Chains A and B, each alone.
Chain A
Amino acid sequence: MDAVRPEAQAAPYWRSTGGKLLLKRCKACGELHHYPRPHCPFCFSAETEWVEAAGQGTIYSYSVTRRGAEPYAIAFVTLAEGPTLLTNIVDTPLDTIAIGQPVDVVFRDVDGVAVPMFRRVPPG
């Protein structure tokens, strides 16, 4: 899928395999943002840096698409660090997904690119 072929500035984001999820932080105002940009969308500083997120968050909202061959869950996950990102919930029974659930990141291959998705944190 051509859509996931990253532009050059975001290449580190798409290399963030092996359990690493990267965010951008503004060196001027300190805010984290997603999706990653070379500039800060809050103060427009051009000085930003990559930082590693812990990979944990909670489900802000979700929707299970049931039309089509195989149902799947799209979600907004709010990371512990603050930013909310669009993703899929995987490795989790679809009918048990709920807003507020803790999730952690897993990487899935989408047409040769490792893409961050999330699964429900196993109980205990």
Chain B
Amino acid sequence: MTINGKAYIAGAYEHPTRKAPDKTTAELHAEVARGALDDAGLSVADVDGFFCSGDSPGLGPLNMAEYLGLRARHVDSTNTGGSSYIVAVDHAAQAIAAGKCKVALITLAGRPRSEPQSPAEIAYLSDPGVPDVPYETPFRATIVNLYGMVAQRHMHAFGTTSEQLAWIKVAASHHAQHNPHALLREVVSVADVVGSPIIADPLHRLDCCVVTDGGGALVVVAPEIARSLKRPLVKVRGAAAAVKHSDGGKVDLAYSGTAWSGRAAFAEAAVTPRDIKYVSIYDSFTITVLMQLEDLGFCERGTGGRFVSDGNLIAGVGKLPFNTDGGGLCSNHPANRGGMTKVIEAVRQLRGEAHPAVQVANCDLALANGTGGYLAGRHGSATLILERV
């Protein structure tokens, strides 16, 4: 069975907040749900499928379905970190194709800026019952130094430079200047990035994404419902997920799980990287983007540094416009989970609703890609290919 053509994204909403000290995470779930349903022209009574990741308050979809007042007959709380929401679109499309639901609501919310580390995150990193923790936590592995090791390896193997990585942030900042909600709207230069303090070699402060409160939501619907609504038709054309891990000690940082999810999603969509007009690429760090672009086949392995240089990712300037909302590097990274905003900006581009300064002309085919977890260790990759019809 394929999901190609079996489901459409009818609603998309990104919460405008970047700091919400006076709201609960549950309230943010409700606000983004309302936003996405309003966008689609649907009501909460229409929702029969509900997707929120396992990081959501309580037992995820149980507590949130009750809070929102949903009558869902299909729920899913798949937790693959930041890629969960790209996986959720895939799973929603599968559920719709199988007749399990017709209107699937996907929500994400979190407040890492107001509450630096959630109890669940702290529990994971210090829980000796998590089998990898005793072999990693004593060495003070952090998100930044784990991604730093991927960048270090890429530099060693292929001669990639900090200046090349910096171009990824520079491109994101060129887009963020047009986004009134972006946390960082100032255009930065390569010199600004490599001149910012090193956090963990070779990653500088400006190689890292922002930390924000907020959230987002999507509504995925059956084709007959999409056609009954007034919104532009955004079809799910292909999707796939993959988990890559340390493989019993056969560590290979030359590629990510996106090499697998990308190949499968392109096959399902029956398109190639050359057909894609716009990409949303999860940008937890600059190196994350470079790895995914290589893994997806937008450039040859090892050539990502040259590919991203000289503004090649800037809309209207380069060959492959990416993250035209400013991405996680400049605009928004709600709940430290970037997959949701990646899908939302891809939907805006396909509808022609991106900011005019960054709207890609004739954007009929877009790709959203995410990774979740730790690129140097276990991570979940997910690829989604969408088409405006």
| Chain A contacts to B: CB under 8 angstroms | 1-7, 10, 14, 31-35, 37, 40-42, 60-67, 72, 74-76, 78, 82-88, 99-100, 110, 113, 115, 117
Contact = CB atoms under 8 A, between A and B. Distances in A.
Given A62-B201, A64-B200, A87-B139, 14 more contacts: A2-B126, A2-B128, A3-B125, A3-B126, A5-B128, A6-B128, A7-B128, A34-B249, A63-B146, A66-B198, A67-B144, A67-B198, A78-B251, A115-B138
Contacts of A67: 144, 197-200
Given A2-B128, A66-B199, A61 B135 contact: no
A82 B249 contact: yes
- Which residue, A3, A61, A85, has most C-beta atoms of chain B within 10 A? A61
Contacts of B131: 7, 35, 37
Contact of B149 (A1, A32, A74, A100): A74
Contacts of A5: 128, 134
Nearest to B203: A63
Interface residues of B, number: 43
A33 B248 contact: yes
A1 B141 CA distance: 14
Interface string B195-212: 001111111000000000
A60 B128 CA distance: 26
- Which residue, B131, B133, B200, B202, has most C-beta atoms of chain A within 10 A? B200
Interface string B329-346: 000000000000000000
A1 B128 CA distance: 10
Contacts of B146: 63, 74
A6 B198 contact: no
B136 interface: yes
Nearest to A4: B138
Interface string B100-132: 000000000000000000000000011111011
A110 B247 CA distance: 26
A86 B134 contact: no
A65 B135 contact: no
15 contacts: A2-B126, A5-B128, A6-B134, A7-B134, A33-B249, A35-B132, A41-B247, A62-B201, A64-B201, A65-B200, A74-B141, A76-B251, A84-B250, A86-B377, A115-B138
